[in-house]
Structure 1
Amino acid sequence: MKKKNQSFVNGFNSWWKLYPKVSEQENSESHVSCFEKWKILENALRLQKTIGHEYQMILDQKKKKWRDILSRLLDVILFLARQNLPLRGHREGISSDNRGNFLELVNLLSKYDPVLKEHMLRIEHAIACTKSKRVDSYLSKDIQNEFISLLGKELVGDNLDIHLCRAQGYDDAATMAGVHGGVQAIIKEHNPKALFMPCANHSLNLCEVHSFGSQQQRKRRYKRSSIHTLSLSQACELEHGTSDREAS
């Protein structure tokens, strides 16, 4: 086997030796082979046919997909925040009838939005195939909290002065209403004038849930409602009857 010329690899100590070696290098088998590979690569790069380019296209598509998904999830959180609505539900399991405002709103939008629809179908398929709940869904409470934390930092960056806050209202969960480590307590440490008031809607909802907590209570409530309705009907009949008699 012909020994390769190492002069163009190791370099030259005497420049006068360069001239005769150049022609030898140009006609050598290794140089011709490298030149052909370089031209093939140059042509592939020009036509965007390289493996690296294909991988980059796949990577860009995935980045766009997740950016679109996260943008929609962020919009859901912003909507609930503007409407002063809680994100999480009492039970967020798959079998739950009401999984909370965040998950239920995402499910609703997935019926009409193709991006969220594909995302939710992928999650259902992954859970069914793996029999596991650990799927990259970006719907967990940790992701929600991370979004809220980022939004909080953004508000701080917008020079939102917490000392101008005069009231705050949340549900009765310990993480929000707790007197020691709750959000309202942390805010009051910075601004004692930010008075806390429990969410009236949430408190009313808890009353309704507990009042209908048992079958027997539901039956009693239904009977009282029926009696009340009957009394109203009788009152209307009596009133119309009295009016008719007075008219005659």
Structure 2
Amino acid sequence: MKDRSNALGRIDHMLTIQSDEEINYWRNIRVKALSSRGLSFRGHDEKISSLDNGNYLMSMELIAEFDTFLAKHIARYGNSGTGHTSYLSSTTCEKFIRLMGEIILMEILTAKYFSLIIDSTPDRSYVDQLTIVIRYILPHGSPVERFLNFISNTGHKSEQETNAVTSTLTQFEIDISNCRGQSYDNTANMAGIYNGLQAKIKEISPLAEYVPCSAHSFNLVGECWIGL
């Protein structure tokens, strides 16, 4: 219908363009603001006016206070429940997240060389989650760190973690031979010079130098200081 309107030169053609520009403007504000700061999109629920509805809906509600079009949309479609198209649900959030993931992956592949940052911690349901973060340089020279993936229940042995890392990089078509740095905590399974994760990664990519995580090292210093 939009193409036909353009071809026929209908009077609402300019209104359609204006509407599209407005939608893209606010979409860019929401997505760029949240993603540029590494903020999560979804919360514990998807209810408008809830304090636990996450950053995406919170930002929508904030913008709606200054934009009558969005305010009317939220008033009409907010909390409409499943089976109703609202563009406010977790389905829309997941689409944004997938799109951002594709952009980040393209950045990593364009940068070519990267470093690995890996750590694990139990989530709220006590399932151990291995977090993989990639650090690389943008074309204009600024370093960035981007979350790549969560892996559940990989185990804490260095062989298990090595398999998890290599399989994840293969999944995203990232060549591990381009790895130039590693940063983990100081435990033997991670930092061990013979059988630790860093040693096994270095066997695959000899130029991937290991540097202990500064935050973990500082924590150990703090614990020793308190002990004294």
TM-score range, shorter chain: 0.3 to 0.5
- What is the TM-score when the length of structure 2 is the normalising length? 0.44
| Relative contact order, higher structure (CA 8 A, sep 6+) | 2
Structure number with the higher strand fraction is 2
- What is the TM-score when the length of structure 1 is the normalising length? 0.41
Larger radius of gyration: 1
Structure number with the higher helix fraction is 1
